[in-house]
Chains A and B, each alone.
Chain A
């Protein structure tokens, strides 16, 4: 993959994570400015970087989100949980797109449609700023999806909302006509009722219908409708758009109770002008267009009207052209028709696309910076063959502008110094060395004013005017061959500004720049490394660990086979050193792979929030020990079981607020997600203070489902009964809910945890709550096994399953029905022969004693009869591949120090298929 795209994906994922976290925290403390800034910046960065790739669909969505956040930041928009829901959805989509980009290099199918929906929804949150001339960033032309309802105004000032185009042409025309006679405020109202509004007695439809001076309204779904089964009819999913003609005060008074949910925007009558319809055959209009262009320029309004009238007679309704003509006719009824608007409409006749005239919404550039804009255009027009020179000019114009801006005393010296430097560089680059620059700088210094420099730059600029072509004082003209530089293109205004007050004084200017070369500063502190590289390193370390295990063999051979004891001793000494190094290296590499569990915990605030809203329960999530670290694989393996457990607690464990209150508990339930590091294990607990589990119910269920037999039903302790929830085929939920049901139970959780080499247990008190504890090894990379021998073969058995090793006299073995058992410390331990389980030759040579590996398998103690115990050792367990995959009773294989392969047994599997 393109390394830049790769960097973008990984960077954006980090930013999404930050954004997600900020959203959730914002929900708790909505006014936090620091949080908002972090949030804005992370979204902003994603947007900015995405612009470097050809994924406009993606950029649009993030841009829309950024705009909304910007208005939240500036206090124009209040962030509600509904907004956050939507933002989170958006972030989810962005995350999906990132995955798509990573795997396929492009956004998935339907990205465009999805993007449009999201952008629309986000923009709907914004609606329009309340008054003309407020925040300029709220709407930008590139993000509005359809040119028709999104006039390209440059978005500088109050842009009419896109939905206005949905208002029928006729009504708009009529409304426009009314504004001629009366003094009316035209107000565009966007009303997005709180989704809970029905519960507070709000009647959105009534409110809209009774708007004073209501002209038109329409209703839309905010989000796409859910399936009828999932839909909550009590949630308001509507957004109302209305246009009213009355007085601003009157309308705001009417809406005072729903103020929070309403955006009211004052429209200028001209903003009603949006021609609509299908672009028909333009041929009949060609003569008209030609004539009218002339007439508009001359201001021949009456004659223009005369031209329009007959055309309208023959035009069919429903076409864009017809609508344009209607609008032109309406506009011409004014005493002084809006010329620019008429020109725009005429242009629509030509091209079929309506664009608002630039100046209609942008009086700023019009008034303040005519010279700059003019200059810029004239340069690029006249000197495209010398783009470089044009750029020099452009840059000089900017420097001149900067010098004329107001300035604080402390910044002035720097400003003059930097501008002087830039002017010098510019001139050097264009290979002209006009006399007087140094003098101008010096004079500026002496007079403590930017004036001399301003004069110098002005001279330079006038000398460079298109007719002058080059700096007057420059040497021979050397056109610089470079690619064309485009000005004022998509990237927006290049330069510009307005004349400001000129600062009268300046500070001292530095004589020269410091060029002190010191130590290069330290590079960034973190490193991003592809996981595969770490895995490769881990593999190598694993091989080293195994290779080092060969040395004790070597020492033994030196002593036993070659009889050189001294050498054996030296090898052993050397082994100790290499062993230590290998262990430290292994530790170091494992440390690299360690990540905090927070990377998994992070997703829970969102999950709990979403689910508790869905379930209508009040639930607080507490995260503890997030900084606890474990191997990346272990942490990643944790995610699924934890989600399952938390969902279980939310769904079955915690009660609704009413239930809790009637049980005398606080209404708000709590789930604690806790990570503790304990020896070389990481323990994760999911604690809830819900209704707890009733062991009696479990017992009955387990018996009913045949998980335990009658005898066990009588003897089982409460604690043991609770553990039964992990048994296969056991599910306590009376009904399968869509949260935690789905037919998989706690047994799946257990098997995942077991696969990661961990254990799971449950404690619960009826009415007080439940704690589920997962214990996982800190690292899965190295497994400690015990070597056991049976029928002359060596096998590995994971150490964590082994309780103890015992030797018992054969006479102690008792037969119970068909099974053998032994009594150890008053406990009956069933015995299994490993040789029989593996279909190997049974060792008949009796030594009067049997070696028993006492193990805990699936919560039960069993004895495994083997021929001989050997040492315990660290191995790097590799999964079996190829045909061996079909032998589940082998957990994997590992290489021994002497080059032999050790098969590691999966005792649980072995026993289950006995």
Chain B
């Protein structure tokens, strides 16, 4: 089963994304911020990270940058999810190493499709 790590500081959002991902048949784990996500990612393999941008302690950009610098994590696909729809935010996400940028609240089909694609199947 494919494993997904949902990184978001908002409980509600994590719950929502968990529902979406579990309905695709993914196994889901959650992290509240970048640091927790790195810790979890280092002890267990994930097929995809869903990452929020604005988080305490370590935000999404920093998290993805750290991932890309860390040999164990650098190849994991990342979908970054943010409320910001602007070009600059999107560019910043790609620059930091995200593979896809989705504006939140995301279209359900869209998010599910992309998650399934980037994780390499359902």
Contact = CB atoms under 8 A, between A and B. Distances in A.
Interface of A: 3-4, 7-8, 10-11, 38, 40-41, 44-45, 47-49, 51-52, 136-137, 156, 364-365, 369, 387-388, 391-392, 395, 398-399, 401-402, 405-407, 410-411, 413-415, 417-422, 424-426, 428-429, 482-487, 489-498, 510, 513-521, 524
B50 interface: no
Given A11-B10, A417-B74, A517-B44, A491 B102 contact: yes
A514 B16 CA distance: 29
B1 to A, nearest CB: 14
Contact of B94 (A392, A405, A425): A405
B45 A4 contact: no
A418 B72 contact: no
A523 to B, nearest CB: 9
Contacts of B56: 38, 41
B43 A418 contact: no
Contacts of B44: 517-518, 520
A421 B76 contact: yes
A38 B57 CA distance: 10
Contacts of B97: 411, 414-415, 418
B94 A519 contact: no
Interface in B63-78: 65, 67-78
Given A411-B68, A425-B117, A426-B117, A365 B87 contact: yes
Contact of B43 (A51, A395, A518): A518
A268 to B, nearest CB: 21
Given A395-B114, A517-B45, A518-B44, A364 B87 contact: yes
A518 B91 CA distance: 35
B56 to A, nearest CB: 6
Contacts of B121: 425, 428-429
Given A7-B12, A41-B54, 17 more contacts: A4-B12, A41-B56, A51-B105, A52-B16, A411-B97, A417-B74, A420-B75, A426-B117, A485-B107, A485-B109, A495-B100, A497-B90, A497-B94, A510-B72, A510-B74, A521-B43, A524-B32
Nearest to A399: B99
Q: Which 7 A-B pairs have the closest CB atoms?
A: A414-B68, A492-B85, A414-B74, A425-B120, A514-B72, A417-B75, A49-B12
B117 to A, nearest CB: 5
Interface of B: 9-13, 15-16, 19, 32, 36, 39-40, 43-45, 52, 54-56, 65, 67-78, 83-88, 90-91, 94-97, 99-107, 109-110, 113-114, 116-121
12 contacts: A8-B12, A44-B83, A51-B83, A387-B109, A414-B68, A421-B77, A422-B118, A487-B110, A491-B107, A513-B75, A521-B39, A524-B32
A586 to B, nearest CB: 31
Contacts of B76: 418, 421, 513
A515 B11 contact: no
Contact of A137 (B16, B36, B84): B84
A516 B73 CA distance: 12
Nearest to B101: A495
A422 B102 contact: no
B15 A4 contact: yes
A225 B116 CA distance: 55
Contacts of B71: 510, 514
A407 B109 CA distance: 32
B37 to A, nearest CB: 10
B70 to A, nearest CB: 8
A489 B87 contact: no
A291 to B, nearest CB: 38
A483 B107 CA distance: 12
A496 B15 CA distance: 29
Contact of A429 (B39, B43, B117): B117
B116 to A, nearest CB: 7
Contacts of A492: 85, 103
A410 to B, nearest CB: 5
Contacts of A517: 43-45
Contacts of B9: 41, 45
Given A411-B65, A493-B103, A497-B94, A520 B43 contact: yes
A157 to B, nearest CB: 11
Contact of B109 (A483, A490, A493): A483
B90 A493 contact: yes
Nearest to A523: B30
B14 to A, nearest CB: 9
B69 A7 contact: no
Contacts of A514: 45, 71-72
B76 to A, nearest CB: 7
A238 to B, nearest CB: 34
A701 B109 CA distance: 74
B15 to A, nearest CB: 5
Contact of A415 (B32, B54, B68, B114): B68
Nearest to A486: B107
Given A418-B68, A419-B99, A498 B74 contact: no
Contacts of A418: 68, 74-78, 97, 99
B110 A426 contact: no
A491 B107 CA distance: 7
Contact of B72 (A137, A486, A513): A513
Contacts of B87: 156, 364-365, 369, 493, 496-497
Contacts of A391: 110, 113-114, 117
B98 to A, nearest CB: 8
A487 B100 CA distance: 14
A498 B12 contact: no
Contacts of B100: 395, 398, 422, 495
B74, B109, B116 interface centre (most CB from chain A within 10 Å): B74
A259 to B, nearest CB: 28
Q: For B71, B104, B106, which residue has the most chain A Cβ atoms within 10 angstroms?
A: B71
A137 B86 contact: yes
A484 B19 CA distance: 20
A486 B65 CA distance: 30
Nearest to B85: A492
A35 to B, nearest CB: 13
Nearest to A140: B85
Contacts of A136: 86, 88
A793 to B, nearest CB: 54
B77 A52 contact: no
B3 to A, nearest CB: 11
B119 A414 contact: no
Nearest to A59: B105
Contacts of A496: 87, 90
Nearest to A387: B113
